[in-house]
Structures are given as structure tokens and as C-alpha cells.
Amino acid sequence: MNILEVKNLTKQFGGLTATSDITMNIEKNSITAVIGPNGAGKTTFFNMITAVYKPTSGDILLNGKSLVGLKPHQVSQFGITRTFQNIRLFNDMTVLENVLVGMHQNLKSHWVGTLLQLPHIRKIEETARVEAYDILKYVGLEDYVNENAGNLAYGAQRRLEIGRAMAAKPKILLLDEPAAGMNPKETEKLTNLIYDLRSKLDVTIILIEHDMKLVMKISDFIYVLDHGELIASGKPDEIRTNNRVIEAYLGKGAVAND
């Protein structure tokens, strides 16, 4: 069953076409990778799904309902959460608070209740903190609960972003280059984390990634973008041998010389 359908999605910035006529069907509970050379329009594609950009034409359907025209926070409330290519944490808040912000849309507490110190609101906040701590334990950050997020090491910041996204309990999780800047050991840890996430949260994962080893290992399905166009799609084995993909990455002639 398809949870997300993207239909003829096009985005133009002035005269520049960032993505053109992209159509995708994302199956529920799958791990899908979107790959392509730099500037292929992958992040633009993510930005359209999360309503940061409004598409010029085309449609995005979540379980058959269109997401086009919604505000970013509404898309998030519909169950699509993301991480960012250039890490965007709340740097001056603690690690725990970052995760708590991730939980916001499911948190039933209210500031008036907090002011009046209503017992059930206090209970909600308390349970939320415990839940946030469990998430931090899961992503391996339980030793940094009270640390400011901006002070964390790079790899830890990436994991915190994933933890924060998990806290939102999304139906679809978009990961924008989660392994960027990580060493092989960290990447391996991350690969296992993503794998585990899918079964633990029962979530559909779409990721943009340049690390081909990671992509080939965990994705069920791959879409390849180049110059804003969809040039190939298929299972990892099909993509590995696809001539157009090799051409896009290595240039013309690479196929013949091989």
C-alpha cells in the first residue's frame, strides 16, 4: 500500500527548474532512498514535501490527502517529520528540551495548566520527560541530558536530530543526508539505528544520502534524480547496474570504458 504519492511535482525558482515532473510512490513501512549528484534537487524535493517550498505544479498525497498548500507545522502534525542536511538543532536548549520540543504535537499539556500547577498537567510533563529520556537512551545520548545541544560533537548532534524527529512519532520520517560527515564506524552505527527505527516505530523512511554503501544496504527502493529530473528508479541491484545512473555520476563514456 502506498502511504505517500508524489504526482508530477515541479518547482521553478524564477527561470530555474529545480525539480521537474517527479512522480514517486512510497510504500508503507519501506525504506526509500533518493540519490543523485549535488544540485540534483533532492533537498528541494524534501522541502516541498514538508511545505517549506510550495510546488509550482503537481501534487503530494499522504494516504490520498493532498498536502499542497498546508503550512510546515500542519504537515508535521499530519505525521511527516524530518531531519536537516545542515543540522538544525535548538542550540541554546538542553538535549532533553530538544527532544521535548519534538514531542510537542503529541503533548497535551497547556501553559495555563502549568501556571495553575494542575496535577494532571504536571503528570503529563513528568511522563514526557521520562519518555524523552528513553529516546535519548535509544540514540545513545543519555549522558548528555542537561548539556546544551550546541555543545555536542557532530555525530552526537546528528543522532539528537534523529531522536528529536522520533519524538514526534511520525508516520513518515525524512532523513536528509544523515551520514554526512560521519566516519565509517559512526555510519555503521547509524545504519543499524535506521534499520531498527523502522520496526520500532513502524515508520516509513525516506532518506537522501551520498554514502552508497549505506544506501545499497538499507533501502528497499531507490529513486535517482539528476538535474531535477527522475532518471531511474528500482531496487538497489537494478540501480547499481543502470547505465543512466552511472552516466550521471561518472559522466558520459564511463559506461563504454567499463
Which stretches of the chain bind other proteins, using CB under 8 A?
50, 52, 71-73, 76-77, 81-82, 84, 88-94, 96-97, 100-102, 104-105, 107, 109-111, 114-115, 117, 125-127, 129-130, 133-134, 137, 145-146, 148, 164, 168
Q: Which amino acid is at 151?
A: N
Q: How distant, in Å, are the alpha carbons of 32, 81, 187 from that of 181?
A: 21, 22, 9
Closest distance of CB 95 from other proteins, Å: 10
Closest distance of CB 53 from other proteins, Å: 12
Cell numbers linked to 98: 530538544
**Residue closer to other proteins (CB basis): 72 or 140:** 72
Do 3 and 204 touch, CB atoms closer than 8 A? yes
**Residue closer to other proteins (CB basis): 151 or 192:** 151
In the numeric block, the cell 545499497 is attached to 216
Closest distance of CB 31 from other proteins, Å: 20
**Residue closer to other proteins (CB basis): 42 or 187:** 42
User: Residue 33 CB: number of other CB atoms within 10 A?
Assistant: 24
**Residue closer to other proteins (CB basis): 101 or 180:** 101
Q: How distant, in Å, are the alpha carbons of 9, 22, 60, 62, 224 from that of 57?
A: 6, 10, 10, 17, 20
Closest distance of CB 107 from other proteins, Å: 6
